[in-house]
Amino acid sequence: MEFEYKKSKIITNLILGYFFLFISLFITIMIIKKLIIEWNEIQLTKIIFVLIFILLLALLNYQFLGIAIIRNSYYKKNLSEKFRIDELDRKIIIDKKSENQIEKIDFEDVESLELYYSWNVTTLSTDLGYSKLNLKNSNESLIITQNNINQYHIYKLFKNKTVKKVFKFANILK
Q: pLDDT by residue (tens digit) across 40-60?
A: 777 888 788 888 988 998 888
**Is residue 27 assigned to a domain?**
yes
**Is residue 119 assigned to a domain?**
yes
* Domain interval for residue 36: 7-77
Q: How far is CA 87 from the centre of its chain?
A: 28
How high is the pLDDT of residue 123?
59
DSSP 62: I
Mean pLDDT (whole number) for 20-35: 88
Q: How far is CA 69 from CA 23, 50, 89, 130, 154, in A?
A: 18, 27, 37, 16, 25
Q: Are residues 112 and 62 both part of a single domain?
A: no
Task: Provide the percentage of residues in the chain whose pLDDT is more than 70.
Answer: 93
Question: Which residues are CB-contacts of 152 (< 8 A; sequence separation ≥ 6)?
Answer: none
Going by their DSSP bridges, the two strands 91-96 and 101-106 should be labelled as antiparallel
Q: Are residues 49 and 109 both part of a single domain?
A: no
Tally of domains within the chain? 2
In 3D, which of 128, 121, 132, 134 has the Cα closest to residue 165? 132
Q: Are residues 87 and 61 both part of a single domain?
A: no
pLDDT in tens, 95-145: 998 888 999 999 999 999 999 988 765 555 567 889 999 998 888 889 998
**Is residue 51 assigned to a domain?**
yes
How high is the pLDDT of residue 1?
45
pTM of the predicted model, to two decimals? 0.79
